[in-house]
Structure formats: structure tokens, C-alpha cells
Amino acid sequence: MIFTVAVARAIADGTVRRVYRRWSSPKVTAGSVQRSPSGMIRIDSVREVDPDGLTDADARAAGEISLSHLVRSFFGPSAHPTYLIEVSYLGADPRDVLADDAALDETALNTLRTTLSRMDSRSESAWTREVLTAIAAEPGRRAADLAEQAGLDTKTFKARVRRLKTLGLTISLETGYRISPRGAEFLRLTDATD
């Protein structure tokens, strides 16, 4: 389930506690957790509702300015059911918290080295440092451009960046990526010792 940046922020600040979707069947389940641009969002409940019963007040409660804007945001055939999804904010994405932590002691540094080495060894060639340095050199550059530069298809490149993001080394931008404070410190420390 995808949240716009505006709706994710509104969920995070507590002004939005529900969203609506038109799906052929529910795409999320109560109790599941979704990542969003503003952090982690829990799906509290999912239930089908009659779209003809929705009001402007329902739309505003979902972060839309009017019912007509809400209805225009729906994808799929109008014959598909409309679902009310109640949500709550759980907090920051742990990857973002980790990305901001640039305090790499010897243990953390060695753990990262070992993890990245393992990732490299499971691939046809070492790639982790190449991807990190490419992102550090050109923050905000499109993934497709960076992938081409690395000789990879975009899908493979993005999957690799997601693996680095899980370690707190990169940050996704509206377009492209940037190196995180943790990633920058890792590169700085390993440039000095490698």
C-alpha cells in the first residue's frame, strides 16, 4: 500500500487516521505494518464500505480536500469494492534511525565490513562499494542512470540499493538516492584503512 508524502506526514502527526482504497480485494490486512515516507504505519483495520455513503467529512478525515478529490484518487474499475483502512503511526523507520547513526565503533565497522563482504561474495562480482561510491559522488541522480553506469539493469540496481538501505547506508530521495551519514562515515573510515 502506497501513501503519498502528504498523507504519510498527516498520519505521522495524527491528523489522518483513515484512508480509502478501491481494490478488487483487500491488499493489506489488519495488524500489518507498512513503511512510508514518514515512518512506520500500522494497519489497524480494513473493511469494505459503500462508496455512495462517503461524505466530504470522510474525505477530509482521510487527508483529501473534498469527496470528489478522494473519488478521483481511486484506481481501478468503479465496480471494485471500496475499503476503509484505519491506520496509526508507529514511529520512525528503523532504517532511517540507523542511517542517521554515524557513530561507527570498531565493532560496528567490522560488522558492516563482514556483511558487505558477504553480499559481494554471493554475487558474480563485488558491487557494494561501487554502488556506495557512485551514490556518494552523485546524490539525487536517477537510479536508471546509476544502473547504466554500473552496467546493471535498473531493477537489479534498485534491489541492491535497498539492501544497502537496510544497513542504514543509503537514503532514498524523490529522485535517486544519497549516502546516509552512516554510509559516509563508513566510506571515510574504510577509505583510510582499505
Domains and CATH numbers, the chain: 5-92 (2.30.130.30), 95-193 (1.10.10.10)
Beta-carbon contacts of 145 under 8 Å, excluding residues fewer than 6 positions away, are none
CB 25 within 8 A of CB 83: no
Burial of 175 (0-12, 13-18, 19+ CB in 10 A): exposed
pLDDT of res. 164: 97
In this structure, what C-alpha cell is assigned to residue 37? 515516507
DSSP state of 179: E
CA distance 162 to 4: 20
Q: Each residue of 135-182: pLDDT tens digit?
A: 999 999 999 999 999 999 999 999 999 999 999 999 988 899 999 999
CA distance 119 to 122: 5
CB 3 within 8 A of CB 37: yes
Rounded to 5°, the CA angle 148-114-99 comes to 65
- The residue assigned the cell 531493477 is 155
CB 99 within 8 A of CB 182: yes
Q: Each residue of 12-63: pLDDT tens digit?
A: 999 999 999 999 999 999 999 999 989 999 999 999 999 999 999 999 999 9
Rg (CA), the chain: 20
Question: Would you say residue 193 has pLDDT above 60?
Answer: no
- Greater model confidence, 3 or 80: 80
Which amino acid does the sequence have at 116? L
For residue 109, which of 194, 19, 14, 6 has the smallest C-alpha distance? 194
Question: Would you say residue 95 has pLDDT above 90?
Answer: no
Q: Provide the β-strand partners of residue 49.
A: 82
